[in-house]
Amino acid sequence: MKSKAKFPCLAGNTFYSEVRRRVNNDFKENNRSINANVLMWFKAFLFLIIFLALYFSILLLNVHSTILLGLTILLGATCAFIGFNICHDAIHGSFSSSKRINSFFSFLFNMVGANPYVWNITHNVVHHTYTNIPGHDEDIEVAPGLIRICTEDELKPHQRFQQWYAFPLYSLASLSWVFRKDYKKFFQKSVGACQNKHPKIEYFNLFFYKFLYYFIFIGLPILIMPLAWWQIAIGFVVLHMAQGLTMGLVFQLAHVVEGTTFPITNAEGNMEEAWAEHQMRTTANFATQSPISAFFLGGLNRQIEHHLFPKICHVHYGRISIIVKQTALEFGLPYHENSTFLSALRSHYRILKKMGQPETI
């Protein structure tokens, strides 16, 4: 197991203590809760209603195959939006001040094919602590050996084409998650530098809810729908290609774009900068002025605010981003932004192309 990278503890008026003070004062002065507001609850129920409507329409309606394909693609995207807008906040504990409500909405992660317990380890604990640190942050290890995103990775000949084949690979991310990733992360000895020691109930939860998911999305359609098993299998793959592409692009555009860094530990195995400063250098926002992105992406387009304040519900990120940006600039720290989704996508493409080429002196 790798040793844990440690961040220095800086005394005095640091960036993080100051930005926390300002953000906390903003909530107090405006008498606002850091948890879900009316908009958040509206989004939660809206996406769940759309999910149920699409699922049962596919399952029960006898429609043309073209319409069925369209509904399946929409269901896949909706599953991603449920993950972004509901489960992500709930697993972070930011949806509600009630642990029961957070636990209930966290459970829904099982219904989009992912295990909430494993996600908590890989994302909340490891990724949020060791963001973009090669060898520690396993969230940046997308198709190892196929996609190279930092100079610490070995360059392979086929990677000169990765700016073209990376995007189709992203569409397989959800399928891999359902059948491979959760099991692999659960049973490997450690995730990054964090050793895996699981409560016994989580062994049951992993297998039981995976089986339930397979039954709901594969078994039940085979039993009910007037289609051959191979047609159901194609539909299942299409669903996850839509879900995977939606998830893959959003997560990549937050950390693998021009300007973000992939810092490594020093000779003693420690980081040179404090944790919050590290977050500012490894994280980026995109499409922050787009109300559509804000509604559908669950605050993941404001990744800077999310990494600094994961316990604050994402519906508040737009307001506190003004405070975070101003404070960062005062402390001489970068605040990475791409104005639109397309500009972030182009930046990610350029990173893939650059990382696929030999380094020039």
pLDDT at 9 over 90: no
pLDDT at 361 over 70: no
The verdict on residue 330 lying in a domain is: yes
Q: What's the burial of 361, exposed, middle or buried (CB within 10 Å: 0-12/13-18/19+)? A: exposed
In what helix (H) or strand (E) does residue 238 lie, and over which residues does it extend? helix 229-255
73-100 pLDDT, tens digit per residue, is: 999 999 999 999 999 999 999 999 999 9
The verdict on residue 5 lying in a domain is: no
Phi and psi of 302, rounded to 5°?
-115, 65
Contact 145, 158 (CB under 8 A): no
323-340 pLDDT, tens digit per residue, is: 999 999 999 999 999 999
pLDDT at res. 94: 96
Average pLDDT over residues 245-264: 92
- Dihedral (Cα; 51, 53, 56, 57), 10-degree rounding: -120
pLDDT at res. 190: 78
Which structural domain range is residue 301 located in?
Answer: 15-355
Q: How far is CA 31 from CA 26, 27, 181, 311, 313, in A?
A: 8, 6, 42, 17, 15
Alpha-carbon Rg of the chain, whole angstroms? Answer: 21
Q: Above pLDDT 90, what percent of the chain?
A: 80
The verdict on residue 2 lying in a domain is: no
- 3-state SS, one letter per residue, for 249-280: HHHHHHHCCCCCCCCCCCCCCECCCCHHHHHH
> In the predicted model, what is the mean pLDDT of the chain?
92
- The Cα 242–Cα 76 span in angstroms is 5
The verdict on residue 231 lying in a domain is: yes
The verdict on residue 46 lying in a domain is: yes
Let me know how long the chain is.
361
Confidence of residue 68 (pLDDT cuts 50, 70, 90): very high
Sign of CA dihedral 346, 298, 184, 126: positive
Q: Is 332 left (phi over 0), alpha (psi -120 to 50) or beta?
A: left
The verdict on residue 144 lying in a domain is: yes
Phi and psi of 131, rounded to 5°?
-50, 125
pLDDT at res. 12: 59
Q: Give SS3 for 227.
A: coil
pLDDT at res. 93: 96
Query: How many CB atoms are located within 10 Å of the residue 144 CB?
Result: 11
Contact 35, 95 (CB under 8 A): yes
pLDDT at 1 over 60: no
Q: Read off the pTM.
A: 0.91
- What amino acid occupies position 45? F
In what helix (H) or strand (E) does residue 325 lie, and over which residues does it extend? helix 317-330
267-284 pLDDT, tens digit per residue, is: 777 888 899 999 999 999
Q: Structurally, how many domains does the chain consist of? A: 1
Query: How many CB atoms are located within 10 Å of the residue 239 CB?
Result: 25
The verdict on residue 234 lying in a domain is: yes
Q: How far is CA 213 from CA 30, 78, 187, 262, in A?
A: 43, 16, 20, 36
Min mean pLDDT across 74-78, 90-94, 139-143, 227-231 is at 139-143
The verdict on residue 361 lying in a domain is: no
pLDDT at 13 over 80: no
pLDDT at 230 over 80: yes
- The Cα 135–Cα 187 span in angstroms is 18
Contact 241, 76 (CB under 8 A): yes
Q: Give SS3 for 41.
A: helix
